[in-house]
Amino acid sequence: MLRKPTVVKALAFALGTGTILAFAAPSFADDGAMPQLRFEHGNFAPAQLSVQANKPFKVKVTNGSDAAIEFESFELHRERVVPPGETITVHMPSLAPGSYQFFDDFHHEVPKGLIVSQ
Amino acid sequence: MKAALVSFVTLLAAVQLLPVSRSNPPEEGNPEAPAAIVRLLKRACYDCHSNETRWPWYSFIAPASWLVSRHVAEARRRLNFSEWGEYASDPDTASHKLGEIADQVASGKMAPWYYRAMHADARLNLAERQMLTRWARTSSAAMRSSD
């Protein structure tokens, strides 16, 4: 039979652990949030997007301009048209640590952006 | 005149020593297609748009080798059938690529005229053009997601 102080300690431990997990849960959810890129005024924002290495992810690309853009990356093997005012979801593979360039193939004057995997 | 000719031949010999990339990296998956389509793609497209390039004899002689090497590198960057698995991991990218194949083949822009002039294999007759276009359009529609 367990002694009373042991039961109290066990209850306190369970309560403490539960509290920590309850507060920790939102930060796990934040880690899983989908990165976003927005094209507006002739630029991608942010120009550099950081993602976790070695883990597949998705990127939302929104075209806030009034002309279609083509989100393209040779290194990432991605090529998608984004009509004006629309948002698309691009599935990305897990990436080795490094920098991967993307650009708008419809407007070559647009500065190129980077996805940085780390 | 003789000195100019000697200089030219010497220069031509010297440029042969410059390294040129003619690599055929390992395959990473090809598109799924009926055998007839695969045969057509391999015959007419794969020399530039895959890692299965059959390097022609003139690709070993500078300066032609520089042009061929650059042409193949650019073609592979735009579309590489040997890396199809990478495109297919984003189904809408694969769908877009297939749509572009259909447009380029249907309009006669692919293969380019200067390439067709030198490579009989890249010339498609009307029936082949239609068959390839139909396959690419159908496959493109099937891959498109509802995003």
- Assign domain A36-117 one CATH number from 3.40.50.150, 1.10.40.30, 2.60.40.420, 3.40.50.2020: 2.60.40.420
Q: How many domains does chain B have?
A: 1
Give me the residue spans of the domains in chain A: 1-33, 36-117
What interface predicted TM-score (ipTM) does this complex get? Answer: 0.81
The reply to whether B84 falls in a domain is yes
CB contact under 8 A, B96 and A79: yes
Helix axes B91-107, B126-143, angle to 10 degrees: 160
Q: Is A89 on the interface with B (CB under 8 A)?
A: yes
Q: Is A91 on the interface with B (CB under 8 A)?
A: yes
The reply to whether B21 falls in a domain is no
**Upstream peptide bond of B111 is cis (omega within 30 degrees of 0):** yes
CB contact under 8 A, A89 and B147: yes
Cβ-Cβ pairs closer than 8 A, A with B, add up to 31
The reply to whether B66 falls in a domain is yes
The reply to whether B25 falls in a domain is no
To the nearest whole Å, the CA of A105 is away from the closest chain B CA by: 11
pLDDT at A25 over 70: no
Q: For the residues A5-15, what does the mean pLDDT come to?
A: 56
Greatest distance between any 2 Cα atoms in chain B? 70
From first to last of the 147 residues of chain B, give the pLDDT tens digit: 888 888 888 888 887 777 778 788 888 788 889 999 999 999 999 999 999 998 988 888 888 888 888 999 999 999 999 999 999 999 999 999 999 999 999 999 998 998 898 889 999 999 999 999 999 999 999 988 755
Cβ A78 vs Cβ B88: under 8 Å:
no
pLDDT digits (tens, 9 = 90+) for A30-79: 345 799 999 999 999 999 999 999 999 999 999 999 999 999 999 999 99
- Per the DSSP assignment, residues forming a β-bridge with A37 are A61
**Closest alpha carbon within chain A to B86:** A77
Q: How far is CA A79 from CA A3, A88, B78, B90, B99, in A?
A: 66, 12, 9, 9, 11
Give start and end residues of each alpha helix (H) in chain B: 2-15, 35-44, 46-49, 64-78, 84-88, 91-107, 113-118, 126-143
Q: Domain residues for B113?
A: 32-143
